[in-house]
Amino acid sequence: MSINEEVELLKTVPIFSKIEPAKLKLLAFTSDRMTFDAGQELCHQGDMGDAMYVILGGSADILIDSPTGPIKVAELQRNGFVGEMAILCDMPRTATVKAHERVTALKIPKEMFFRLVAEFPQMAVEIMRELAHRVEDMNGKLAAARAA
């Protein structure tokens, strides 16, 4: 995938949609393109977060450790992103992300992420929106689990 193709794809990711193409080009250029085969981990629960990931292709499962083994709590598809919480809060990763099928992802370093948030406050608003949706979704799942 070329840098220009990555820029076009990044434009479709809600948190990057308001960022000018030249900045997205810089983001794509300074980020690492990574490929993960099915079963490979993008990141592991408990590890410190040094980057976030944007899924360019494929899908990945978000898993949380439990006494009975990993529990799948969500699935990431193309244009999805993960890892922002660990770098925003400077804390260990709260989940493991494992490729469900072959995944191509853009690994965005913490420093670049913070530069973008500082320069584009709308990006911070979009991240807060996404985090709020994730909390709402998780609350619904917890309520359903309690009712069962």
- In the prediction, which pLDDT does 124 show? 80
Q: 35, 53, 33: which is closest to 43 by C-alpha? A: 53
Is 42 domain-assigned?
A: yes
Is 79 domain-assigned?
A: yes
Q: 7, 10, 5: which is closest to 126 by C-alpha? A: 10
- In the prediction, which pLDDT does 28 show? 85
Name the domain count of the chain: 1
- In the prediction, which pLDDT does 8 show? 86
- The pTM of this model reads 0.82
Is 148 domain-assigned?
A: no
- CATH number, position 113: 2.60.120.10
The boundaries of the domain holding residue 55 are 3-143
Tens-digit pLDDT profile for residues 23-72 = 888 888 888 999 999 999 999 999 999 999 999 999 999 999 999 999 99
